[in-house]
């Protein structure tokens, strides 16, 4: 399964009420490091599809949820389990590092 786009309106349904963990990548189109990790997150979403959903939220188009969570720098990845944030990773990293971190948190 590829990544899904979430919005302020769909966040509760797609993330908080999800039946498995959801990694939300907070990003923006102008963010170079965000664009660098995009392809890696797509690949990881396919490889770990049974264990986690990877979602992307554009902070420029959706300001409510990032504001509530306190997103100050991007890319910021926040892992939600049972509707609660349980881990986060700030900044770009190679695919192997991102996948290793995520697998360690699941």
Residues recognised as catalytic: 31, 34
Output the six-digit token pair for 90: 């700030």
Rounded Cα gap, residues 23 and 35, in angstroms: 17
Q: How far is CA 104 from CA 87, 88, 99, in A?
A: 10, 12, 8
């Amino acid at each position: 399964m590829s990544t899904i786009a979430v919005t302020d309106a769909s966040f509760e349904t797609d993330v908080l009420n999800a039946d498995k963990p959801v990694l939300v990548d907070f990003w923006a189109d102008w963010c170079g490091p965000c664009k660098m990790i995009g392809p890696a997150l797509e690949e990881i979403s396919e490889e770990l599809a049974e264990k986690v959903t990877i979602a992307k939220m554009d902070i420029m188009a959706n300001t409510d949820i990032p504001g509530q969570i306190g997103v100050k720098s991007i890319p910021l990845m926040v892992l939600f389990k049972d509707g609660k944030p349980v881990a986060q990773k700030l900044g770009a990293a190679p695919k192997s590092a991102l996948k290793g971190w995520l697998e360690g948190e699941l």
